[in-house]
Chains A and B, each alone.
Chain A
Amino acid sequence: MENYIEFKDVSFAYIDEYDSTTENETVIDNLSVSITKGDFVCVLGHNGCGKSTFAKLCNAIEVPLSGKVYVDGIDTSDDDRLYDIRRKVGMVFQNPDNQIVATIVEDDVAFGPENLGVEPSEIRVRVDEALRQVEMYDFRLSEPHKLSGGQKQRVAIAGIIAMQPECIILDESTSMLDPRGRREVIKTVKKLNEEQGITVIFITHYMDEAVEADRVIVMDDGKIVLDGTPRDVFVHIDELKEIGLDVPEATELTAMLIKEGVSLREDILDVEELFDSVVKLMEEKS
């Protein structure tokens, strides 16, 4: 499979411009990883583990202090290609209020394509299409501040789609939403990933959002500590707890039962799977 984003020995630290005497704390520590085109990748980690910086390195908001990041083969430290990269890799942020620039939904969605200098008639087509994809077309003339959090985030996603990106990064975009808003956002990006083949990098600290991803990357202290399918990753219950993350209850309960001698497969992810396994065991016994 094609590598879309590639990190090669990347290190990064925020440099305090006013105080050169203090040690700069390393946020990303010699990280090498590649993201496959078309994947739905979930990046998990507690606050301050470097996952937001990881996101910012993916679309040249930050550039590595050492090492290289390539997006579709383009070096992110190449200033001339900055806007090529940002067009290809769109980003949705945490606070829905602080990324909407216009006072009318459709004008906000048009902001990106307008910046790219797209023809007006083409922008109109893209904006309508993008709003339909996130199911916000009926709200195209609404004022953003009257929408719910989930709706605002979907408008933000539409604003990115209208730039026709190949990859979307959601940097904790669900953390300020209620359960309904979170479901709306996840459903929307899942659909974009499946139907349009857009690569999705979904950054979160909710483990239940990671269960459906193709791949889960767990970060701690600027390093990758676990990387694999959700089933591969969540069986590492002790490691995950050690770095302050949750494990699906079903997975943990399964592990506890296995310890007591019950014969279950260990990579159970949700209560439905556990229910099926328990029912099967009961039927075998009778």
Chain B
Amino acid sequence: MISDITIGQYYKGNSFIHKLDARAKILLTVLFIAMIFMCKNFLSLGLTFVFVVLSVLLSAVPVKMYLKSLKPIIPIVIFTAVLNMLYTGGETVLYSFWKITLTAEGLTTAAFFAARIVLIIISSSILTYTTVPTMLTDAIEKLLSPLKVFKIPVHSLAMMMTLALRFIPTLIEEIGKITNAQKARGADFESGKLLQRIKAIIPIIIPLVVSSFRRAAELADAMNCRCYTGGNTRTRMKQMKFCFKDFVSLLVFCIGIAGVVLLNIKFGAVI
């Protein structure tokens, strides 16, 4: 269900990872994703897996929460895995039936793809679970600030992200309310052909858009009242400090990537 989406959710805590600088965490996540894509054999994948497990443990966020973030993408994982399994050619036929041929290569590719998607979701969940969204957008703003040279409105973009994160739960709740209200008037969202189903959501979309505009106007007034003038003279309550542990973490991840590369070279690629 739509309410299961956990993107941008923060999990209160005081762990090592919670305390890392948000900018460091974003960079770490980027390194993580790089690492995941660089894996070419099961050993390097195993090393990456160890990194993920350790990070999850260090985050002190219950494993249940990570499983929850994986839940909505399970169908995608299965779908891509099955596609890979059936359409990757290969010599080592394991099983053949009618037009379906299962090869060892297919299985390997499928396993790799599934593992990659799962690991990427988990590593980005570590970031969002352990970082207050405002810090996250502040960090993005800081990391992208060199782009200001090219007249890119970095602050406004970061502000828009903050507001989007803030209003996602509100809008999800609102969609639920409007859906119930229209169902109470006999709206049918469950049956009919594709075209009918698309038509059926108009009574939800229009009120949602109307109310979003109303919210935006009110929010603009409220922000004006609180002296918001854009980014120039703003200060921040929560200061970002890049300290020793941030450097160490980045270093450890660089070593990890080096490890992945070494293992790839030493034991060859299977994908």
Report which A residues bind B (CB closer than 8 A): 56, 59, 61, 83, 86-87, 90-91, 93, 95, 97-104, 106-107, 110-120, 123-124, 127, 141, 143-145, 159-160, 163
Among the listed B132, B221, B227, which residue makes an inter-chain contact with A115, where contact means beta carbons less than 8 Å apart?
A: B227
**Is B234's beta carbon under 8 Å from chain A?**
yes
B235/A145 in contact, CB under 8 A: no
29 A-B pairs (CB sep. < 8 Å): A61-B225, A86-B225, A86-B227, A91-B225, A93-B222, A95-B218, A98-B219, A99-B222, A101-B166, A102-B134, A103-B10, A103-B132, A103-B134, A103-B162, A103-B165, A106-B237, A110-B236, A111-B228, A113-B235, A116-B227, A117-B233, A119-B235, A120-B238, A120-B239, A127-B237, A144-B166, A145-B173, A159-B226, A160-B226
A114/B225 in contact, CB under 8 A: no
B162, B166, B227, B239 — most chain A CB neighbours (10 Å):
B227
Q: A97-B215, A104-B133, A141-B12 are in contact. Are A124 and B237 (CB under 8 A)?
A: yes
Nearest residue, chain A, Cβ from B13 = A141
Among the listed A95, A111, A144, which residue makes an inter-chain contact with B226, where contact means beta carbons less than 8 Å apart?
A: A111
Nearest residue, chain B, Cβ from A109 = B237
Q: How far is the CB of B189 from chain A (nearest CB, A)?
A: 24
Chain B residues lying within 8 Å of A159, measured Cβ to Cβ, are: 226
Measured in the bound complex, the distance between the Cα atoms of B217 and A195 in whole Å is 34
Chain B residues lying within 8 Å of A111, measured Cβ to Cβ, are: 226, 228
Measured in the bound complex, the distance between the Cα atoms of B233 and A113 in whole Å is 11
Q: How far is the CB of B251 from chain A (nearest CB, A)?
A: 28
**Is B224's beta carbon under 8 Å from chain A?**
yes
A145/B170 in contact, CB under 8 A: yes
Measured in the bound complex, the distance between the Cα atoms of B8 and A143 in whole Å is 11
Measured in the bound complex, the distance between the Cα atoms of B163 and A91 in whole Å is 20
Q: A107-B134, A110-B237, A114-B235 are in contact. Are A98 and B224 (CB under 8 A)?
A: no
**Is B256's beta carbon under 8 Å from chain A?**
no
Within 8 A of A (CB), among B9-31: 10, 12
Chain B residues lying within 8 Å of A118, measured Cβ to Cβ, are: 235
Measured in the bound complex, the distance between the Cα atoms of B224 and A131 in whole Å is 21
Among the listed A110, A112, A117, A143, which residue makes an inter-chain contact with B169, where contact means beta carbons less than 8 Å apart?
A: A143
Q: How far is the CB of A4 from chain B (nearest CB, A)?
A: 17
A143/B235 in contact, CB under 8 A: no
Interface size class of B (residues with CB under 8 A): 20 to 34
**Is B223's beta carbon under 8 Å from chain A?**
yes
**Is B92's beta carbon under 8 Å from chain A?**
no
B173/A120 in contact, CB under 8 A: no
Q: How far is the CB of B21 from chain A (nearest CB, A)?
A: 15
B235/A101 in contact, CB under 8 A: no
B132/A114 in contact, CB under 8 A: no
Q: How far is the CB of A119 from chain B (nearest CB, A)?
A: 7
Main secondary structure of the interface of A (DSSP, over half): helix
Measured in the bound complex, the distance between the Cα atoms of B165 and A113 in whole Å is 21
B224/A104 in contact, CB under 8 A: no
Q: How far is the CB of A8 from chain B (nearest CB, A)?
A: 23
Measured in the bound complex, the distance between the Cα atoms of B218 and A120 in whole Å is 28
Nearest residue, chain A, Cβ from B228 = A115
Chain A residues lying within 8 Å of B238, measured Cβ to Cβ, are: 107, 110, 120
Measured in the bound complex, the distance between the Cα atoms of B221 and A91 in whole Å is 10
Q: A114-B236, A120-B239, A145-B173 are in contact. Are A102 and B166 (CB under 8 A)?
A: yes
B134, B226, B234, B239 — most chain A CB neighbours (10 Å):
B226
**Is B96's beta carbon under 8 Å from chain A?**
no
Chain B residues lying within 8 Å of A102, measured Cβ to Cβ, are: 133-134, 162, 166
Measured in the bound complex, the distance between the Cα atoms of B214 and A182 in whole Å is 23
**Given A97-B215, A117-B233, A143-B10, list of 10 further CB < 8 A pairs?**
A98-B214, A99-B219, A99-B222, A101-B163, A103-B166, A112-B226, A114-B234, A115-B234, A123-B235, A124-B237
Q: How far is the CB of A140 from chain B (nearest CB, A)?
A: 11
Chain A residues lying within 8 Å of B224, measured Cβ to Cβ, are: 61, 86
